[in-house]
């Protein structure tokens, strides 16, 4: 019988993954079994700890917020599912209780997709499986769930900030050691010990793998006396072997091993047992490949002796980041990771430069990262913004000391440039004598900016107030922070200037809720996501952090999280700001990767309606935070 | 037809009609969230209850806030009278490539689907009238189900000062006010689903005002 509603459901879901990679006939089978659920604002679809449903869900209209509730009952937004997003995927992967709570952010209509029907038509669809695993990791991953162990898919979830699985092809051992069907176990064992290997493959005349003998077989079947040592290998080998093609991914390899509870996969020419053996993928190989991850890159950086090695390592990290973005790994994670790598690179660059200097530094100093690197939000290569702070010295030694550090800075700036961080156009680099100063000079400099704010001071402070120590003595920067907060206590005017600056970027949406695009120039009709959406959030976070005297929290989303902690009555706003910042950064980075630029300018017309909606949703907190600033710092009449 | 005839005829009622009537014996109200509702809509050849005929009936049923797509009703009726001018609105052609059934079969399927549960329609009077007229043509009685009209219910859900007697409260207007996506508008099943969503949204609002009870819904 004709079912128009099923057809309309079908028309909608077929546009979105994973349904877009399902064949039309199969898709119609699913659509016919969907339930349509209406949720009022605040209605929960499932709560943390609820037993799993027979359905997973796709948002049709509205938005569903996924929360993680921690033990002390604080809620953290993990994701917001808009039209076309799937969620509640846990029952697809593991039959266990929900870990998150799904609540309607606004009035919503949700499609409930029956899991049995879905699985019956998709079990052989690798694309669908891959999407679901990634989507699941995105929706659930957060530091709390990562601590769980022993779950089937734990290997697919990032369990430390440095250990995120990638889908690269596994590196298997070629030219495996084999023996023939009629060799004795003793001969095989001799061969194994000669080659220092833990397993041997038994092959037939055509070199097709027939069985495998591992150390544990020898332990369990020979050493226990069950078989004599001269027995034929065919008596004790494990047969048949599990085989695979040579382009198997790490994830697949691992999955096969878990599924068959084995430690070795035979790689054959066509992937079946009836073709030539070309290699063996061992559990150890998988672990080694998994090792090709940020922690390995970090190690490489820390051991680098030359700038060239640093550049190679940084480029490797870049590729890794791209693949993480494609896999929808949470952005807060990627940001943290990249911050660590960038800091390590700068740290090592300073270290290498110090080695090149004729003498040791005359006094203690610190290398500071400024701007986005200082905020630890640099994802792709950008300009370098940095400065040096050194201990106060008697006047007669000042000239000499300063020259030493300027020389050092020249070396570091040069090598950073070589690594890929371009010179700053405004020359905000440590090699500029203006930004290579003693502690007292810096204190005076900041005091001057704070007490005599003008256009230039505000512009510079937006870069300099986000400093963080990359190398050297942290007590210097810490004393500088203390001095800054002491001076900030004396004046309110500076906050007003910062506030005005934070508001100078006009709201992203016009009166008629249209996107405000650039009016002229090369970027005419493009939407500037950086200045209209990201900068207001960054500026507001900085101002609020300074006025709340928060020390040592530099990244924008962490600043909002900290603010949410400090001001419980504004918690919701700050949390949505933190979320909006992450979502917008991801947007920008993805656009950047897509068009091979900074991603700053977006052509609104090329976005899907859902993407536009997502963008708009992020703008709401921007307006709200700007209103908060206006009220708090009394900016209404401050022009 | 006299009173006597009705009693005489009762014995000849088809079984499905007797089954249908049996749903109303000893029927008790369950709580609203556990009650089965049926939102339905008819597409007709016109607005004259005597002259015009039902082209199609669409219905969706739900308990709570969940509508199962595999349990919807979609009927297309064979036409003796065909009016070309209605094709424009409903897009239903006489030779359209759908399975069509006779009025008798349609009545039977519809009654089996609705049982004794509560019917929801927008401007319910018209749809009710068309169905009753069809039942009458086949010598059957009127629908016994209780009706909720989403237009009336919506108006009643507004504060008295916002109610507007001149406003028609059309389905289109409600969709806009309540932010219901207008998909497949002017097909029976599409409108039935829209009506169901409109109803659920009004219920959500009533729930907030603590008005969610039978007396209010059925205007008793």
pLDDT tens for A105-114 read: 888 889 999 9
- Residue B65 burial (CB count, 10 A): 20
Q: What angle do CA A8, A9, A10 make, to 5 degrees?
A: 85
Q: Do B67 and A37 touch (CB under 8 A)?
A: yes
Instruction: Decide: helix, strand or coil at residue A56.
Output: strand
pLDDT of residue A597: 66
Burial of A245-271, coded b for 16+ CB within 10 Å and e otherwise, reads ebebbbbbbbbbbeeeebbbbbbbeee
How far B6 CA sits from the closest chain A CA (Å)?
A: 36
A173-290: CATH number: 3.10.580.10
How far B179 CA sits from the closest chain A CA (Å)?
A: 9
The pair of structure tokens assigned to A472 is 């050297």
| pLDDT, mean of residues A603-618 | 76
Query: Strand pairing of A386-390 and A436-438?
Result: parallel
Q: Which residue has the higher pLDDT, B25 or A255?
A: B25
The answer, yes or no, to whether residue A558 has pLDDT greater than 70, is: yes
Q: What angle do CA A67, A72, A73 make, to 5 degrees?
A: 35
pLDDT of residue A351: 93
Give A 82-141 residues with CB within 8 A of chain B.
107, 109, 112
Q: HSE (CB half, 13 Å, CA atoms) of A266?
A: 30
Element (H, E) at A59: strand A55-61
pLDDT of residue A406: 94
The answer, yes or no, to whether residue A250 has pLDDT greater than 80, is: no
The pair of structure tokens assigned to A545 is 């952090």
pLDDT of residue B59: 94
The single residue listed with the structure tokens 């309309």 is A8
pLDDT of residue A401: 93
A4-155 shares its CATH topology with A294-448+462-474: no
Closest CA to A411 of A478, A370, A361, A473: A361
Instruction: Decide: helix, strand or coil at residue A158.
Output: coil
ipTM of the complex in this document: 0.78
Q: How many CB pairs under 8 A join A and B?
A: 71
Kindly report which listed range (A224-233, A303-312, A378-387, B122-131) carries the lowest average pLDDT score. Answer: A378-387
CA distances from A629 to A491, A500, A535, A536, A634 (A): 17, 9, 14, 11, 8
Residue pair A376/A581 in contact by the 8 Å Cβ criterion: no
pLDDT of residue A326: 67
Q: HSE (CB half, 13 Å, CA atoms) of A88?
A: 27
CA distance A440 to A390: 9
pLDDT confidence band for A512 (50 / 70 / 90): low
pLDDT of residue B3: 53
Q: Do B70 and A4 touch (CB under 8 A)?
A: no
Which of A1, A2, A4 is the best residue to mutate to test the B interface, defined by the most B CB atoms within 10 Å of its own CB? A4
The answer, yes or no, to whether residue A408 has pLDDT greater than 90, is: yes
Residue pair A344/A302 in contact by the 8 Å Cβ criterion: yes
B72 touches chain A (CB under 8 A): yes
A291 alpha-carbon distance from chain centroid:
17
In DSSP terms, which residues pair with A180 in a beta bridge? A203
CA distance A98 to B180: 30
The pair of structure tokens assigned to A247 is 């382009």
CA distances from A275 to A209, A252, A260 (A): 8, 20, 21
Kindly report which listed range (A451-460, A588-597, B99-108) carries the lowest average pLDDT score. Answer: A588-597
Closest CA to A69 of A47, A42, A93, A45: A47
A175 alpha-carbon distance from chain centroid:
37
Q: Do B197 and A109 touch (CB under 8 A)?
A: yes
For CA atoms A509, A511, A513, A517, give the dihedral sign.
Answer: negative
Kindly report which listed range (A174-178, A366-370, B165-169) carries the lowest average pLDDT score. Answer: B165-169
Give A 40-59 residues with CB within 8 A of chain B.
40, 43
The answer, yes or no, to whether residue A165 has pLDDT greater than 60, is: no
The pair of structure tokens assigned to A56 is 């997973």
Residue pair A132/A89 in contact by the 8 Å Cβ criterion: yes
Element (H, E) at A235: helix A233-236
How far B196 CA sits from the closest chain A CA (Å)?
A: 10
pLDDT confidence band for A453 (50 / 70 / 90): confident
Fold of A4-155: Jelly Rolls (2.60.120)
A363 alpha-carbon distance from chain centroid:
38
The answer, yes or no, to whether residue A409 has pLDDT greater than 60, is: yes
How far A39 CA sits from the closest chain B CA (Å)?
A: 7
Which of B62, B66, B68, B69 is the best residue to mutate to test the A interface, defined by the most A CB atoms within 10 Å of its own CB? B69
What are the start-end ranges of the E strands in A348-460? 365-369, 386-390, 436-438
Kindly report which listed range (A355-359, A476-480, A632-636, B57-61) carries the lowest average pLDDT score. Answer: A632-636
pLDDT confidence band for A431 (50 / 70 / 90): very high
CA distances from A76 to A68, A101, A210, A575 (A): 5, 10, 53, 8
Of A3, A9, A61, the CB nearest to B74: A3
In DSSP terms, which residues pair with A14 in a beta bridge? none
pLDDT of residue A158: 35
Q: Do B76 and A33 touch (CB under 8 A)?
A: no
CA distance A375 to A371: 6
The pair of structure tokens assigned to B131 is 């169905």
pLDDT digits (tens, 9 = 90+) for A41-62: 888 889 888 888 889 999 888 8
pLDDT of residue A514: 63
Residue pair B198/B172 in contact by the 8 Å Cβ criterion: no
CA distance A256 to A262: 8
How far B136 CA sits from the closest chain A CA (Å)?
A: 27
Q: CATH says A294-448+462-474 is which class?
A: alpha beta
Q: HSE (CB half, 13 Å, CA atoms) of A209?
A: 32
CA distance A282 to A473: 46
pLDDT of residue A366: 94
Q: Which residue has the higher pLDDT, A293 or A364?
A: A364
Instruction: Please give the share of chain A, as a percent, with pLDDT higher than 70.
Output: 87
pLDDT digits (tens, 9 = 90+) for A345-366: 999 999 999 999 999 999 999 9
* DSSP string covering B45-103: S-S-TTT--EEEEEEEEEETTEEEEEEEEEEEB--SS--GGGHHHH---TT-SS--B-H
Fold of B31-217: Nucleotidyltransferase; domain 5 (3.30.420)
| pLDDT, mean of residues A108-125 | 86
The answer, yes or no, to whether residue A286 has pLDDT greater than 80, is: no
pLDDT of residue A157: 34
CA distance B178 to B170: 12
User: Please, what is the average pLDDT of chain A?
Assistant: 81
Intervals of chain B under pLDDT 50: 1, 94-95
B200 touches chain A (CB under 8 A): yes
B128 touches chain A (CB under 8 A): no
């Amino acid at each position: 019988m004709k079912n128009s509603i099923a057809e309309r459901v079908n028309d909608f879901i077929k546009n979105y993954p994973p349904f877009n990679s399902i064949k039309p006939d199969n898709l119609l089978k699913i659509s016919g079994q969907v339930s349509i659920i209406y949720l009022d604002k605040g209605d929960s679809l499932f709560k943390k700890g609820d037993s799993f449903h027979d359905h997973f869900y796709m948002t049709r209209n509205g938005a569903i917020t996924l929360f993680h509730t921690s033990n002390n009952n604080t809620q953290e937004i993990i994701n917001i599912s808009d039209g076309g997003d799937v969620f509640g995927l846990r029952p697809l992967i593991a039959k266990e209780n929900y870990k998150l709570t799904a609540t309607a952010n606004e009035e919503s209509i949700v499609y409930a997709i029956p899991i049995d029907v879905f699985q019956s038509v998709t079990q052989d669809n690798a694309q669908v499986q891959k999407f679901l695993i990634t989507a699941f990791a995105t929706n659930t991953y957060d530091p709390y769930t990562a601590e769980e162990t022993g779950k089937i898919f734990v290997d697919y979830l990032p369990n430390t900030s440095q250990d995120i699985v990638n889908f690269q092809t596994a590196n298997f051992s070629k030219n495996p050691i084999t023996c023939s069907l009629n060799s004795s176990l003793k001969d095989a064992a001799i061969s194994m010990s000669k080659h220092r290997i833990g397993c041997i493959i038994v092959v037939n005349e055509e070199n097709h793998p027939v069985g495998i003998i591992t150390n544990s077989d020898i332990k369990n079947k020979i050493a226990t006396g069950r078989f004599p040592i001269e027995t034929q290998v065919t008596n004790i080998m494990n047969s048949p072997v599990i085989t695979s093609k040579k382009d198997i991914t790490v994830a697949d390899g691992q999955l096969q091993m878990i599924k068959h509870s084995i430690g070795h996969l035979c790689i054959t020419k066509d992937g079946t047992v009836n073709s030539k053996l070309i290699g063996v993928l061992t559990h150890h190989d998988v672990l080694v490949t998994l090792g090709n991850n940020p922690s390995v890159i970090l190690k490489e950086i820390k051991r680098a002796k030359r700038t060239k090695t640093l550049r190679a390592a940084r480029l490797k990290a870049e590729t890794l980041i791209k693949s993480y973005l494609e896999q929808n790994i949470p952005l807060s994670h990627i940001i943290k990771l990249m911050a660590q790598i960038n800091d390590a690179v700068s740290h090592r660059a300073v270290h290498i430069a110090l080695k090149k200097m004729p003498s040791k530094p005359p006094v203690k100093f610190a290398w500071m990262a400024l701007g986005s690197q200082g905020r630890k939000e640099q994802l792709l290569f950008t300009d370098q913004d940095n400065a040096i702070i050194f201990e106060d010295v008697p006047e007669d030694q000042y000239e000499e000391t300063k020259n030493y550090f300027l020389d050092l800075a020249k070396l570091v700036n040069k090598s950073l440039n070589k690594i890929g961080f371009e010179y700053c156009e405004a020359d905000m680099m440590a090699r500029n004598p203006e930004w290579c100063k003693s502690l007292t000079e810096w204190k005076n400099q900041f005091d001057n900016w704070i007490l005599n704010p003008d256009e230039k001071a505000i512009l510079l402070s937006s870069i300099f107030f986000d400093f963080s120590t990359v190398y050297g003595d942290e007590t210097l920067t810490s004393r500088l922070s203390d001095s800054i907060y002491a001076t900030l206590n004396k004046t309110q005017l500076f906050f007003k200037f910062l506030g005005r600056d934070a508001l100078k970027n006009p709201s992203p949406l016009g009166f008629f809720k249209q996107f405000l695009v650039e009016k002229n120039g090369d970027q005419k009709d493009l939407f500037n996501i950086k200045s209209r959406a990201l900068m207001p959030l960054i500026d507001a976070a900085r101002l609020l952090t300074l006025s709340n005297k928060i020390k040592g929290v530099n990244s924008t989303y962490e600043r909002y999280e900290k603010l949410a902690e400090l001001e419980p009555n504004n918690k919701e706003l700050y949390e949505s700001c933190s979320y909006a910042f992450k979502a917008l950064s991801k947007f920008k980075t993805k656009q950047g990767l897509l068009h091979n630029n900074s991603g700053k300018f977006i052509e609104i017309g090329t976005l899907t309606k859902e993407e536009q909606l997502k963008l708009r949703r992020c703008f709401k907190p921007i307006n709200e935070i700007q209103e908060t600033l206006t009220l708090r710092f009394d900016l209404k009449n401050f022009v | 037809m006299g009173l006597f005839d009705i009693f005489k005829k009762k014995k000849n009622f088809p079984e499905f009609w007797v089954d249908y009537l049996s749903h109303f014996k000893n029927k008790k109200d369950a709580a609203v969230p556990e009650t089965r509702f049926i939102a339905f809509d008819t597409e007709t050849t016109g607005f004259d209850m005597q002259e015009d005929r039902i082209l199609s009936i669409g219905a969706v049923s739900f308990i709570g806030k969940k509508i199962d797509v595999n349990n919807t009703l979609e009927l297309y009726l064979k036409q003796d009278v065909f009016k070309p001018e209605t094709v424009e609105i409903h897009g239903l052609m006489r030779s359209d490539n759908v399975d069509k059934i006779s009025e008798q079969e349609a009545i039977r399927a519809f009654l089996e689907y609705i049982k004794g549960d509560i019917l929801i329609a927008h401007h319910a009077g018209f749809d009710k009238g068309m169905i009753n007229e069809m039942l009458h043509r086949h010598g059957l009685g009127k629908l016994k189900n209780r009706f909720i009209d989403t237009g009336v219910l919506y108006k009643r859900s507004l504060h008295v000062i916002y109610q507007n007697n001149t406003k028609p409260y059309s389905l289109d207007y409600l969709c806009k006010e309540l932010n219901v996506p207008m998909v497949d508008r002017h097909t029976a099943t599409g409108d039935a689903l829209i009506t169901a969503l409109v109803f659920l949204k009004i219920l959500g609002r009533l729930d907030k005002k603590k008005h969610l009870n039978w007396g209010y819904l059925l205007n008793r």
